[in-house]
A and B are shown apart, each in its own frame.
Chain A
Amino acid sequence: MADNVVVETRALSKVYRDFWGRQKVRALKALDLEIYRGEVFGLLGPNGSGKTTTIKLLLGLLFPTDGEALVLGKPATDVEKNERIGYLPEESYLYRFLNAEETLDFYGRLFDIPPEVRRERIDKLIKQVKLDAARKRQLREYSKGMTRRIGLAQALINEPDLILLDEPTSGLDPIGTREMKDWILELRDQGKTVVMCSHLLADVQDVCDRIAILHQGELKELGRVEDLLKVEDVTQVSARGLSAECQNEIRDVIARHNGELLSMDNPTTTLEELFLSIVRDSEARPGRRVVREEEATPPENSGESTEPPSTAS
C-alpha cells in the first residue's frame, strides 16, 4: 500500500442479518476504495445507499461480512487506529448531561491526553467552534447547530490525521453550513484527510476533492469532482480582449463548422444533475457498476483526467 493511502477497502461487503442469521439487506457490495492523504473525500448516495455503513465499517463499529478495510495501515477493527482518527457522527451522540468542557475533557481522557495538554486543547477548540459563551451549559440545552459544533470539537480533540464526518451539514442553517464547510477546508489546508458522507450535493461540490457515488450498496461513480462535472461535448474557450470583429469571426468559424455557440461562460452542469442521472441510470439498469479506478491518482498530481464510468458485471 502506498504511503499516501490513508484508507483502503478491498471488496468490502456488508450483509445485515437478523437474529437467526437470515439475510436482511446487502448494504454494501464489494466496495473498492482508496483515499489519499490530504484530500477531502465525499461519499454520496441517496438514503440507504451504504454511505453510513461504509463509514461505520471504516470505524470498526461494524464488522465486514467479506473483504477488508484498512485505515491508516491497520485493520478497521483495530482499536489502535482510533488514536489518529476523529469522528463526527450523524447526529451528535454525546452525553447530554455533560457541558461542553466536561464533554471535551471526557473524550480527551479517553485519548489518555495529559491534563495540561487537555486543558489547552479544550480551550482552543471551544473558541474555535465558537462555544465560548456556552461552555458551562449542559448539552441538552444546546441548539442543533451548537450540538454539531461541539460534535466537531470532540472529533478534533486528539488532533487527528483522518477525520470522518457523517452528514456534517445536516440540519444546519445556511450560515452553519458555511461555517462547517470552512472548517473542513481549513482541516484540509492543515494537511488532514477528511472523509465525509452526505446527500447534500452542493456541500459536497463545494468542499470535496474527490467523490464516490454509492447507490444500493454499489459504487457507481468515482473521481475528481471537477472531472466528473466536465461536459465532454462542449468546448469552452476563454479569451481576453477580443474585439467585436474577432468575436464575429469566431462565430463565423463555428457556424462554418456547423457548430453552435452557446455562451462564453464556464459550461458546467450542477452536481445535482449528475447525481440524479446516475441514480436514474442505476435504477434503469441495475447491476451496472464501476470497476476499481485504475488511474486514480493522489490529488498532488492533479490535472490528470479520471476514467469515465465503465461498465462491468
Chain B
Amino acid sequence: MIQEEPLLPFKTWLLEWDADRWGAFWHFLLVMVVLAMLSLVIGLIIGTILHGPVKAGERAYRVVANAFRELFHISPRRIWAIARVAMQEALRRRVLVAVAVFVLLLLFAGWFLKTDREPAKLYFSFVLTATSFLGLFIALLLSVFSLPNDFKTKTIYTVVTKPVRAGDIILGRILGFTLVGSLLLLVMGGASYLFVSRALTHTHTVAAQKELPERTSRSDGHSHKLEVRDDGQIIAMYEHGHEHSVEKRGDRYMVSPPEGMIRARVPLYGELKFLNRQGVEVEKGVSVGKEWGYRSFIEGGTQAAAVWTFDGINEDTLIDEGEDGRYLPIEIVVRVFRTWKADINTPVQGIIQLKRPGSDLKTEPEFFFADDNTIDLKYFPESLTDTNNQPVDLLEDLVSEDGQLEVVVQCLDRAQYFGFARGDCYIHLRDASPFWNFVKAYISIWVQMVVVIAIAVTGSTVLSGPIAMLFTVSFILLGFQRDFLMGVATDKVEGGGPIEALVRIPTHMNLISDFKDQHFGIKLMRLVDDGLQALMQVLASVLPDFGNLSTADYVAYGFDIPWNQVLQQLFLGGAYVIGLAIVGYFLLRNREVAK
C-alpha cells in the first residue's frame, strides 16, 4: 500500500510547535485569526468608504459584539428543530432514491467485476469509491440547495423573524444533513459489506477418491493445492490471498468458505535508509527515471541495499506458533525494475538479512524470488545463524538494547533493480477485525461528507444554489488536488507558477529548462507568479485534503486503519465544521435576508 507520508503520532500532529510544521491545532488557530483580522480590515475599509470611519467602527463593533452575545444564545432545541426540518426536507426530496441507485449498482457490479488476482482489493476499492462519490454527491446536492431554496421561497422570512440565531440555522442544517447522510452511509455500508463478503465467498470441490487428489477443482479462476498437515487437518493451500480448510466426512470432502481473504493487517513500520553501490549510506537510492519519486531503487549485484530500522522489538512482536516456536513475521513488497529482459519468467533474486544496528552482526542471507508488487512473507525464527555460521538469538543478539532491529534487503542479479519505499517492509504484528476496519473506512467517508456539508451550507448562506454548488465542487476538486496546488505554490512542482506555465505552453518550452534571457517580461511574469503563488499557498493551506481523508486503500490492500488516523480525521472534520460554521454565521447574520 502506498503511504507517502508516515502517519504522525496524534499529539505531534495536533500540537507540535515547530518551524517546519505547525500542529493542526495551531494551524487552525492561525487560519481563524488571519481570517478574522482580514474580514475586520476589509469590513472597516468598505465601511469607511461608504459611511465614514466613525460609523464603520461602530458597525464593526456591533457585528463583533453581537457575535459574542449570540454565541451564548445558541439553543439545542432550536438547532434540533432546524435539523429536523432539514431532514424532513431531505427525505421529501427523495434522497432514498440514491440508496436504490447504489443497490442497483451493486446488483450488476458482480457481472463486470471479475478478477483472478486479489478480488478483495477490487471489490473493496469499488464499493468504497462508489460510496464515497455517491455519498459526497448526495450530501452536496442536499445541503447546497437548502438555504438558497429557503431564500427563494422566502420561508427564511418566517424563520429569522423568530429568535433564531444565525448560528442555530447553520449548525442545525449541518446537523440535519449529516444525520441524513449518516443514514445513507449506514445503508450503503451494510449493502457494501454484504456485497463484498458474498462476492468473495466461493468454494471448491474435491473429488472423492481413495487417495487425496493433488488439487481442488477450479473455481473463481483458481484451484488450490491440497496438503495434509501433521495433525490430519487437510488444507487447501494459500492461493489468491486465501486458503480453505477441508473436512473429510465419510467418503466426501467438504471445503470451507475462503479464509483470510479479507484482512486487516496491523503493521509495524520502520525507518528506511539506503546504501549505495559502494555500501555507503545515502538518503535515497537510484532513480530509474520514474516521475513519481515515491520509491527509490537499489542496484543488483552491488553493495546497494535498502535498510529498514524497526523500533520497539520485543517478545510481543513475535508471533507464537505453538510447538514450532516463535517467529518474527516480516512482510515485504518489492517493485522490480529490469534493465534487461532476460528470461521474463525467471524472477529476480534477492536476499534479506536481519542485522543488529550499530554492529556488523548479520544473519545468514535468506534468498527470495521477487514477485513484482506482491506481498512476500518472511518468517524469521528465534534462533538463527549469522554470516559466520554461528548461532545467534533474535531477541538477545540481533535486537539492540533500545529494541531496534535492522532488516537489510539486497538484489542479487546484476543490472536489475529493486524499488522500495518506507512502507514496503513491515513487521506484521497481528490482524485486526476486518469488519471494524471497514467501519473505520466508512468513518473516513463520513468525515469527508461532513466537511462537504459544512462547506456547502456555509457557501449557500450568501450564494444562490447553482453558484454555491460550483463553489463547493471547486472546493472539493481543489481539495483532492491540494498537494499539487501546494507543490505549484511552493515551486516544488517544476514549471513555475500559472503565468509561467501559460508562457511555456505556446512556446513549447520544456518544464525544466530555464528562461535564459532575464528581460523585463520575464521579470514581470515572475513577479505576478510570486503573487499568485502566495495566494495559492494561502488557499491550499485552508483546503481540506480529501485525498488524505480517504482510507479506502487501507481496506482494499488489507491493512488496518490506525485509530490514530481515524481520530485525526475526526478532529479535522470537527475543525472544518467549527471554522465554517463561524464563517457561515457572520455571512448569514450580516446579509439582508429580504430583497
Chain A residues with Cβ below 8 Å from B593 are 61-62
Contacts of B351 in A (CB 8 A): none
Query: In the complex where A95-B85, A106-B84 touch, is A89 in contact with B158 (Cβ < 8 A)?
Result: yes
Instruction: Check if A110 sits within 8 Å of B154, measured CB to CB.
Output: no
Known contacts: A61-B594, A62-B594, A98-B88. The answer to whether A93 contacts B155 by CB under 8 A is yes
Complex CA–CA separation, A69 to B501 (angstroms): 55
Render B62-75 as a binary contact track against A, CB cut-off 8 A, 1 for contact: 00001000100101
Chain B's closest residue to A80 (CB) is B163
For A79, list chain B residues within 8 Å (CB). Answer: 70, 73, 163-165
Contact A61 B160 (CB under 8 A): yes
Q: Given A93-B153, A93-B157, A97-B88 in contact, is the A110-B162 Cβ separation under 8 Å?
A: yes
Residue in A79, A94, A110, A158 whose Cβ sees the most chain B Cβ within 10 Å: A110
How far, in whole Å, are A85 and B163 apart by their CA atoms in the complex? 9
Which residues from chain A contact B346 at a C-beta distance below 8 Å?
Answer: none
Q: Is the CB of B77 within 8 A of A87?
A: no
Q: Is B209 an interface residue (CB 8 A)?
A: no
A110 and B78 in contact, given A85-B161, A95-B155 (Cβ under 8 angstroms): yes
Residue of B73, B153, B161 touching A61 (CB-CB under 8 A): B161
| CB atoms of A111 and B158 under 8 A apart | no
Given contact pairs A62-B592, A62-B594, A63-B592, A97 touches B92 in the complex (Cβ within 8 A): yes
In the assembled complex, the Cα of A106 lies from the Cα of B159 at a distance in Å of 10
**Chain A residues whose C-beta falls within 8 Å of the C-beta of B40 in the assembled complex:** none
Instruction: Answer whether residue A183 sits at the interface, using C-beta atoms and an 8 A cutoff.
Output: no
Please give, as numbers and ranges, the residues of chain B lying within 8 Å of A154 by CB-CB distance: 158
How many A residues, CB 8 Å from partner? 29
Task: Tell me the nearest residue of chain B to A154, going by C-beta.
Answer: B158
A159 to B161, CA, bound (A): 14
Do the beta carbons of B158 and A94 come within 8 Å of each other? Answer: yes
Q: Within 8 Å of chain B (Cβ to Cβ): is A186?
A: no
Contact (Cβ within 8 A) B164 A110: yes
Q: Contact at A110–B163, with CB atoms within 8 Å?
A: yes
Task: Provide the main secondary structure of the chain B interface.
Answer: helix
Query: Cβ of A56 < 8 Å from any Cβ of B?
Result: yes
* Binary interface encoding of chain B residues 146-158 relative to chain A, with 1 for a CB under 8 A from any of its CBs, else 0: 0000000111111
| B157 A109 Cβ-Cβ under 8 A | no
Contact A107 B157 (CB under 8 A): no
| Chain A residues whose CB sits within 8 angstroms of the CB of B592 once the complex forms | 61-63
In the bound complex, CA of A112 to CA of B85 (Å): 15
Given contacts A106-B81, A112-B75, A112-B78, contact A82 B161 (CB under 8 A): yes
* Complex CA–CA separation, A56 to B157 (angstroms): 9
Contact A110-B155, Cβ < 8 Å, known A61-B592, A79-B70, A82-B163:
no
Which residues of chain A in 68-110 are interfacial with respect to chain B, using CB atoms and an 8 Å cutoff?
78-80, 82-83, 85, 87, 89, 91, 93-95, 97-98, 102, 106-107, 109-110
A93 to B153, CA, bound (A): 7
Given A62-B592, A89-B158, answer yes or no on A106-B165 (Cβ-Cβ < 8 Å): no
Q: Count chain B CB atoms within 10 A of each CB in A56, A80, A106 and give the residue with the most.
A: A106
B154–A109 contact, CB under 8 A? Answer: no
A78 CB → nearest B CB, Å: 8
- Indicate with 1 or 0, residue by residue over B161-196, a CB within 8 angstroms of chain A CB atoms: 111110000000000000000000000000000000
A24 to chain B, nearest CB (A): 11
B80 at the interface (CB under 8 A from A): yes
Q: Does B89 lie at the interface of the complex (its beta carbon under 8 Å from any beta carbon of A)?
A: yes
Question: A61-B594, A98-B85 in contact; A109/B77 too (CB < 8 A)?
Answer: yes
- List B52-108 residues whose CB lies under 8 Å from chain A: 66, 70, 73, 75, 77-78, 80-82, 84-85, 88-89, 92
A98 to B75, CA, bound (A): 22
Indicate whether A214 reaches chain B with its CB closer than 8 angstroms.
no
- Indicate if A43 sits at the interface (CB-CB under 8 A): no
Nearest Cβ distance between residue B592 and chain A, in whole angstroms?
5
CB distance from B363 to the nearest CB of A (A): 71
Q: Is A225 an interface residue (CB 8 A)?
A: no
Please, how many angstroms separate the alpha-carbon atoms of A79 and B169 in the complex? 13
Please name all residues of chain A whose beta carbon is closer than 8 Å to the beta carbon of B159 when the two chains form the complex: 110
**Set of chain B residues within 8 Å of A89, measured between Cβ atoms:** 154, 157-158
Q: Does A59 have its Cβ within 8 Å of any Cβ on chain B?
A: yes
- Within 8 Å CB of B77, what residues of A? 109, 112
| Residue ID in chain B nearest A91 by CB atoms | B154
Q: With the chains together, A80 CA to B514 CA distance in Å?
A: 63
Give the residues in chain A near B88, CB-CB below 8 Å: 95, 97-98, 102
Q: Within B573-593, which residues are at the interface with A (CB < 8 Å)?
A: 592-593
Shortest Cβ distance from B166 into chain A, in angstroms?
Answer: 8
Residues of A within 8 A of B164 (CB): 79, 82, 110
Closest A residue to B166 by beta carbon equals A79
Known contacts being A61-B593, A111-B163, A112-B163, is A93 close to B78, with CB within 8 Å?
Answer: no
State A70–B307 Cα separation when bound (angstroms): 76
Inside 8 A of B163's CB, which chain A residues have their CB? 79-80, 82-83, 110-112
Residue of A nearest to B75 (CB): A112
Residues of chain B within 8 A (CB-CB) of A95 are 85, 88-89, 155
Which among B78, B89, B155, B163 has the greatest number of chain A C-beta atoms within 10 A? B163
A94 touches B155 (CB 8 A): yes
B495 to A: closest C-beta gap in Å: 37
Assuming the contacts A79-B163, A79-B165, A112-B78, asked whether A97 and B89 have C-beta atoms less than 8 A apart, the reply is yes
0/1 string, A46-60, CB within 8 A of B gives 1: 000000000010011
**Complex Cα spacing A206 to B550, Å:** 67
**Chain A 261-299 residues near chain B, CB threshold 8 A:** none
Question: A107 contacts B78, CB within 8 Å?
Answer: no
Query: How many Å lie between the Cα of A165 and that of B77 in the bound state?
Result: 27
User: What separation, in Å, do the CA atoms of A59 and B158 have in the docked complex?
Assistant: 10
Q: Do residues B81 and A109 form an inter-chain contact, with CB atoms below 8 A?
A: yes
Q: How far is the CB of B152 from chain A (nearest CB, A)?
A: 10
The CA-CA distance from A310 to B338 in the complex, in Å, is: 101
Question: In the bound complex, do residue B165 and residue A107 qualify as a contact, i.e. CB atoms below 8 Å apart?
Answer: no
Q: Is the CB of A87 within 8 A of B594?
A: no
CB distance from A65 to the nearest CB of B (A): 10
Cα separation A6 to B594 with both chains bound (whole Å): 23
Asked if B162 and A107 make an inter-chain contact with CB atoms under 8 angstroms apart, the answer reads yes
Which residues on B sit within 8 Å (CB–CB) of A63? 592
For the complex, give the distance between the alpha carbons of A225 and B569 in Å. Answer: 66
Q: How far is the CA of A118 from the CA of B452 in the complex (A)?
A: 35
Provide the residues of chain A in CB contact with B162, threshold 8 Å.
82, 107, 110-111, 158
A93 to B154, CA, bound (A): 6
In whole angstroms, what is the CA distance A173 to B79 when docked? 38
Contacts of B92 in A (CB 8 A): 97
A94 to B89, CA, bound (A): 12
Provide the residues of chain A in CB contact with B160, threshold 8 Å: 60-61
* Shortest Cβ gap from B560 to chain A (Å): 43
**A93 cross-chain contacts in B, Cβ below 8 A:** 153-158
Within the complex, the shortest CB–CB distance from A57 to chain B, in Å, comes to: 9
Contact status B85-A59, CB under 8 Å? no
Q: Which A residues lie within 8 Å of B75 (CB)?
A: 112
Cα(A80)–Cα(B66), bound, Å: 11
B205-237 residues with Cβ-Cβ distance < 8 A to A are none
A111–B163 Cα gap in the complex (Å)? Answer: 6
CB distance from B168 to the nearest CB of A (A): 8
Across the two chains, which residue of chain B brings its CB closest to A61?
B594
Sample of 6 further A-B pairs with CB below 8 A, known A93-B155, A112-B75: A59-B161, A93-B154, A93-B157, A106-B81, A109-B80, A110-B159
Residues of B that sit less than 8 Å from A by CB: 66, 70, 73, 75, 77-78, 80-82, 84-85, 88-89, 92, 153-165, 592-594
Interchain residue pairs A-B with the least CB separation, the first 7:
A109-B81, A61-B594, A110-B162, A93-B154, A82-B163, A87-B161, A97-B92
User: What are 30 pairs between A and B in contact, CB < 8 Å?
Assistant: A56-B594, A61-B157, A61-B592, A61-B593, A61-B594, A62-B593, A62-B594, A79-B70, A79-B73, A80-B163, A82-B163, A83-B163, A87-B157, A87-B161, A91-B154, A93-B158, A94-B155, A95-B85, A97-B88, A98-B88, A102-B88, A107-B158, A109-B77, A110-B78, A110-B81, A110-B159, A110-B162, A111-B162, A112-B77, A158-B162
